Every structure is written in C-alpha cells, then in structure tokens.
Amino acid sequence: MVPRFALAALVLSLACGDDSGGSSSELCDGPADCDDGTFCNGFEVCMPGVPGSGEDGCRPSASTRRGTS
C-alpha cells in the first residue's frame, strides 16, 4: 500500500513541476498564449488591462482564484 502511495505522490510532484512558463514581454492574444503547461495550478486566461493580470495580460482563471483575497 505504501509503495503505491509513494509512487503516486512522486508522479504528481513531477507532473506539476514549477510555474516558470507562460509569460513573455508581449501582450497575449488568447488563452493559448497564457498556458504555462502546468495543469496543477489551473488554467490561465488572457485579459490584458484587467487588474490582476500580469505584464503579458495573463491571469489565473476565476476557478483557480477562489478562496483567495
């Protein structure tokens, strides 16, 4: 039982990786421009000019911001 849990934890931690992708100095044109390739942190949307958006116009989706202030 423990080896399966350890293996599952290892796979999930490797799959999530870090959140280093998805940003650039140009404004996004759509959600594909904002995708950081990390499924664990939810999806990102392109909303330039909206408070909470990054310099590239990307921000986390509403579903990934729930429970935050």
14 Cβ partners below 8 Å, 6+ apart?
none
Domain locations in the chain as residue ranges: 19-69
Confidence of residue 59 (pLDDT cuts 50, 70, 90): very high
Segment 1-26 shows an average pLDDT of 59
Q: What is the pLDDT of residues 19-50, one digit of tens each?
A: 444 445 689 999 899 998 888 888 899 999 99
In this predicted structure, what is the pLDDT of residue 48? 94
63 Cβ partners below 8 Å, 6+ apart?
42, 43
**What's the predicted TM-score (pTM) here?**
0.53
In this predicted structure, what is the pLDDT of residue 16? 58
> How far apart are alpha carbons 24 and 35 in whole angstroms?
11
> Which residue did the predictor score with more confidence, 59 or 7?
59
